[in-house]
């Protein structure tokens, strides 16, 4: 069994934090039990657990198991429908719309990527919009499924207003994630998962809970000044760095168009805040998924040869001292291998919340 109270491995978001390392199977048991006790049906429990534990295994701690208490609160408050009846409507040969019935976004995400993959298998491309959804955790969870089946995939979502537009003074866009995955022969998929803000909100909340300072120039306080104090954050800055935030703002706008204009759902500045205080009203989020069959454009073996060539050349580039050039997803796959061996690091703040859930639901606590 993994030893306790170790420091996390290099490269993870939990670096330098006192943590308990707990086997993923034990965490999976606990997460599933809590969601079931809170009223989620089997399909929802399986989807949320799959996404949260998978994200934590890959080192995406901001969107992993630490979100469990939030989802339990939203489920019990009535914001999330724990037993949704998902309905998929095909709109053309290669497109369709999935009504998530205000259930967990994770369940909708896995179903949408499945439907989009079926469309791509038949037509070369498959595009699925999602309506009446909710927060879906780590955006990379869903394109990854398609990539593991041999397809390229893109995923987009918007979220409630948290991010300043370029040159703006008030939040307007959400963190609006974009994810992309592509299959690679005999390797893990290429995997991009990024917020269009300089830092995801859930990482700010994570750092706030553990009193960890933020990086420079990613967030501002009520006075509009940049801050590294997570407790003082009132808005996030768009990705792109000082003077170049218009790039992140434009990418956030791309998500708004695909997830709101194209679905009829709300724009970020119209959405109910994820962080409450209202946990009873439905949020009606929109998402968008696109799946591509490589053979619709090029012979499959040539595609894989090209991917191998690109990734080999990229990883062979000269790097800074003590570093190495990596492709998107390399850090996550290395972290997943470590965490499968040592367990998932759980910080003291999350352990305390999990202990509260164990008492409330009369479950065996994590240890």
Q: Is the pLDDT of residue 15 over 80?
A: no
Q: Cis peptide leading into 91, omega within 30 of 0?
A: no
**Where does the pLDDT of residue 225 fall: very low under 50, low under 70, confident under 90, or very high at 90 and above?**
very high
pLDDT of residue 4: 38
- Report how far residue 184's alpha carbon sits from residue 192's, in angstroms, rounded to the nearest whole number: 14
Per-residue pLDDT reduced to its tens digit, 88-134: 999 999 999 999 999 999 999 999 999 999 999 999 999 999 999 99
Q: Is the pLDDT of residue 49 over 90?
A: yes
- Report how far residue 22's alpha carbon sits from residue 65's, in angstroms, rounded to the nearest whole number: 12
CB of 337 within 8 A of CB of 14?
Answer: no
Per-residue pLDDT reduced to its tens digit, 240-286: 988 999 999 999 999 999 999 999 999 999 999 999 999 999 999 99
Q: What would the mean pLDDT of 9-26 be, rounded to a whole number?
A: 73
Number of structural domains found in the chain = 1
CB of 87 within 8 A of CB of 100?
Answer: no
CB of 155 within 8 A of CB of 178?
Answer: yes
Q: Measured at the alpha carbon of residue 325, what is the angle toward residues 19 and 237, in degrees to the nearest 5?
A: 65
Task: Tell me, yes or no, whether 316 lies in a domain.
Answer: no
Task: Give the domain range for residue 150.
Answer: 6-310+327-361
Can you tell me which residue has the tokens 């939040």? 171
Task: Tell me, yes or no, whether 319 lies in a domain.
Answer: no
Task: Tell me, yes or no, whether 48 lies in a domain.
Answer: yes
**Where does the pLDDT of residue 2 fall: very low under 50, low under 70, confident under 90, or very high at 90 and above?**
very low
Look at the alpha carbons of 66, 217, 222, 249 in this order and tell me if their dihedral is positive or negative: negative
CB of 205 within 8 A of CB of 198?
Answer: no
In this structure, what CATH number is given to the domain that contains residue 234? 3.30.1370.60
Per-residue pLDDT reduced to its tens digit, 176-211: 999 999 999 999 999 999 999 999 888 898 899 888
- Report how far residue 140's alpha carbon sits from residue 191's, in angstroms, rounded to the nearest whole number: 7
Task: Tell me, yes or no, whether 367 lies in a domain.
Answer: no
Task: Tell me, yes or no, whether 151 lies in a domain.
Answer: yes
pLDDT of residue 53: 99
- Report how far residue 74's alpha carbon sits from residue 77's, in angstroms, rounded to the nearest whole number: 5
pLDDT of residue 12: 56
- Report how far residue 92's alpha carbon sits from residue 96's, in angstroms, rounded to the nearest whole number: 7
CB of 20 within 8 A of CB of 4?
Answer: yes
CB of 134 within 8 A of CB of 105?
Answer: yes
- Report how far residue 82's alpha carbon sits from residue 173's, in angstroms, rounded to the nearest whole number: 28
96-132: buried (b, 16+ CB within 10 Å) or exposed (e) per residue? Answer: bbbbbbbbbbbbbbbbbbbbbbbbbeeebbbbbbbbb
CB of 126 within 8 A of CB of 288?
Answer: no
- Crossing angle of the two packed helices 68-77 and 24-38, in degrees rounded to 10: 10
């Amino acid at each position: 069994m993994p030893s306790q109270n170790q420091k996390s491995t290099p490269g993870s978001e939990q670096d330098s934090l006192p943590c308990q390392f707990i086997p993923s199977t034990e965490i999976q048991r606990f997460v599933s039990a809590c969601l079931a006790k809170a009223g989620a049906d089997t399909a929802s429990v399986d989807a949320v657990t799959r996404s949260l534990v998978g994200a934590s295994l890959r080192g995406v701690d901001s969107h992993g198991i630490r979100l469990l208490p939030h989802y339990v609160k939203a489920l019990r408050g009535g914001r999330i429908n724990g037993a949704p009846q998902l309905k998929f409507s095909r709109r053309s040969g290669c497109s369709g719309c999935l009504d998530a019935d205000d259930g967990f976004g994770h369940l909708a995400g896995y179903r949408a990527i499945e439907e989009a993959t079926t469309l791509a298998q038949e037509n070369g491309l498959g595009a699925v919009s999602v309506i009446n959804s909710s927060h879906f955790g780590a955006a990379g969870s869903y394109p990854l499924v398609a990539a593991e089946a041999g397809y390229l995939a893109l995923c987009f979502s918007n979220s409630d207003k948290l991010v300043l537009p370029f040159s703006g003074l008030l939040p307007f866009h959400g963190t609006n994630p974009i994810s992309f995955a592509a299959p690679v022969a005999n390797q893990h998929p290429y995997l991009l998962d990024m917020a269009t803000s300089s830092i995801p909100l859930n990482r700010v909340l994570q750092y706030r809970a553990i009193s960890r300072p933020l990086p420079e120039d990613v967030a501002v306080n009520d006075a509009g000044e940049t801050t590294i104090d997570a407790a003082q954050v009132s808005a996030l800055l768009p990705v792109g760095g000082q003077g170049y935030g218009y790039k992140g703002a434009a990418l956030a706008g791309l998500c708004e168009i695909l997830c709101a204009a194209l679905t009829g759902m709300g724009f970020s500045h119209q959405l109910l805040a994820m962080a409450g205080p209202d946990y009873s009203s439905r949020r009606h989020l929109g998402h968008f998924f696109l799946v591509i069959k490589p053979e619709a454009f090029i012979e499959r073996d040539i595609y894989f040869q090209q991917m191998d060539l690109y990734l080999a050349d990229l990883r062979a580039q000269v790097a800074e001292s003590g570093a190495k050039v990596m492709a998107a997803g390399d850090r996550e796959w290395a972290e997943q291998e470590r965490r499968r061996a040592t367990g998932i690091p759980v910080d003291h703040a999350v352990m305390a919340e999990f202990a509260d859930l164990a008492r409330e639901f009369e479950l065996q606590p994590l240890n």
